[in-house]
Copies of this chain bind each other. A is one copy, B any other.
Amino acid sequence: VPAHDHRVKASRRLSELDAIELLRGLLASGPNPRGVEVGIGDDAAVLSAGGGKLVWTIDSCIEGAHFDRRWLSLEDVGWRSFMAAVSDVAAMGATPLAALSELSLPAGTSRAELARLGRGQAAAARAARCPVVGGNVSRARDLAVVTTVLGRVERPLLRSGARAGDELWLVGRVGYAALGLRLLREGRRARGAGERAAVAAWRRPVALVDRGPALAGRASAALDVSDGLAGDAAHLARASAVRVVIEGAALLKGLGREMVDAARRSGCEPLELALHGGEDYALLATGRQRPRFARRIGRIERGEGVWLERPGGAASRITRGGWDHLEPRG
């Protein structure tokens, strides 16, 4: 499970959260500038623009850090990089408007290779109904795709809106992508529907561009599960100053039989995969009037941190964080 193989905390190393805090201090001291409603720290920034609001994000997909070409075609790289970025916009309840992409290409990249990358982006852009309207190409040692996406929303769903008494909802599936990556790393061929779904989830994640806006009127908070459910729940708990209680039995029940079987065949505990596997781009939300497409997997209480109620009954605090983008992932 990638999000947890490397959880060793080296205190002198700069972590992702440290880096973001440091940059926030340098770049965003004082109140938000005029027209800026949400600055550094949420899934995306929010700007006021005419009547509605613009939601704006940037995300990267870098060879060696985020992917390995042994396990992904260049079409997959184009697709995944696009979906990861557009998911941040969906997580704010916004409808994607358009995207720009920066492609860093190693020397010797051929026309055919660039075409594969572009076709993957184009397919994802069509699937997300979010056209790529510009970009830039550069030379670099590592292949990298950086995608920025703009979306529009009336009232953005922030990480900070959860309140004690809310339910905790999951939209979409978790754990599949991490299991898929594990199978690819082990060089095993996917067997059975569960394993094939897991590999597909990792290679071709689908951002929930319809579900995000559909949550916008009903949820009190939302974010996308990119770093692992437990880690992203911790972001929610911190931003909303609440305790997030994940009910293990409900989470496990929602995983699906085939996933549970596939995980166990690979020697993984399904609940561990669900809590600590990343990159599924599911949505985690809170609220009181649950839409039918959302599954209740826990509740919000007064307090702090993320707690897991084991199917047996005992609750324990989850202290392991999520995925740190500055830690090696190799």
Q: Which residues of A contact B (CB under 8 A)?
A: 14, 16, 18-20, 22-23, 26-28, 32-33, 35-36, 38-42, 44-45, 47, 49-52, 54, 56-60, 62, 64-66, 97-98, 100-105, 107, 109-111, 114-115, 118-119, 121-122, 125, 131-142, 144, 146, 148, 150, 325-329
Contacts and interface: CB of A to CB of B under 8 A. Distances in A.
A23 B137 CA distance: 10
A236 B293 CA distance: 51
Contact of A118 (B26, B35, B131, B146): B26
Contacts of A144: 104, 140, 144
Contacts of A133: 28, 32-33, 36, 38-40, 45, 47, 56
A59 B140 contact: no
B139 A142 contact: no
Interface pairs A-B: 4 shortest CB-CB:
A50-B50, A45-B134, A26-B118, A45-B133
A104 B102 CA distance: 13
Nearest to A115: B22
A290 to B, nearest CB: 29
A62 B134 contact: no
B18 A111 contact: yes
A110 B329 CA distance: 19
A188 to B, nearest CB: 27
A49 B153 CA distance: 12
B20 A137 contact: yes
